[in-house]
């Protein structure tokens, strides 16, 4: 089971800036191990975000997004106390959802 995300959601005016750090290897599929064998690609492919249960963002990522990925986006109309949830899914079928409260 992957480590939890670190999520910061901060309201400013009538919007909230959300910053997320996910724990994932994001293996490119281009590297070789010490025996010269290609290390297979292993990366997050899909990311979604929701505000109070309603989806606000969908993203597709390739293996060139950095290890332990960072994501920042801004939700309109979000206020302190609202719930932001982030979900990622990788090409192994693994996935994880974490939630934070807008402060």
Contacting positions for other proteins (CB under 8 A): 6, 8, 15, 19, 21, 26, 28, 30, 45-46, 48-49, 51, 54-67, 69-77, 89, 91
Q: Is 73 exposed, middle or buried (0-12, 13-18, 19+ CB in 10 A)?
A: middle
54 phi and psi, to 5 degrees?
A: -105, 125
**Which neighbouring-strand residues pair with 98?**
86
Q: From the CB of 98, what's the least distance to other proteins, in Å?
A: 15
Q: From the CB of 56, what's the least distance to other proteins, in Å?
A: 4
- The residues near 66 (Cβ < 8 Å, ≥ 6 apart) are 26
Q: From the CB of 82, what's the least distance to other proteins, in Å?
A: 11
Q: How many residues does the chain have?
A: 103
Q: Cβ closer to other proteins: 1 or 89?
A: 89
Q: How far apart are the first and last CA of the chain?
A: 28
Q: Cβ closer to other proteins: 74 or 103?
A: 74
**Which neighbouring-strand residues pair with 13?**
none
Q: Cβ closer to other proteins: 37 or 76?
A: 76
Q: From the CB of 93, what's the least distance to other proteins, in Å?
A: 10
């Amino acid at each position: 089971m992957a480590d939890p995300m670190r999520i910061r959601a901060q309201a400013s005016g009538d919007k909230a800036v959300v910053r997320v750090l996910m724990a994932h290897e994001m293996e490119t599929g281009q590297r070789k191990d010490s025996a010269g064998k290609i290390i297979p690609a292993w990366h997050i492919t899909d990311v979604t975000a929701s505000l109070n249960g309603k989806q606000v963002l969908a993203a597709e990522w390739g293996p060139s997004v950095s290890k332990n990925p960072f994501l920042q986006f801004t939700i309109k109309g979000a206020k302190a106390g609202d719930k932001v949830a982030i979900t990622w899914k990788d090409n192994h079928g693994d996935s994880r959802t974490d939630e934070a409260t807008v402060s």
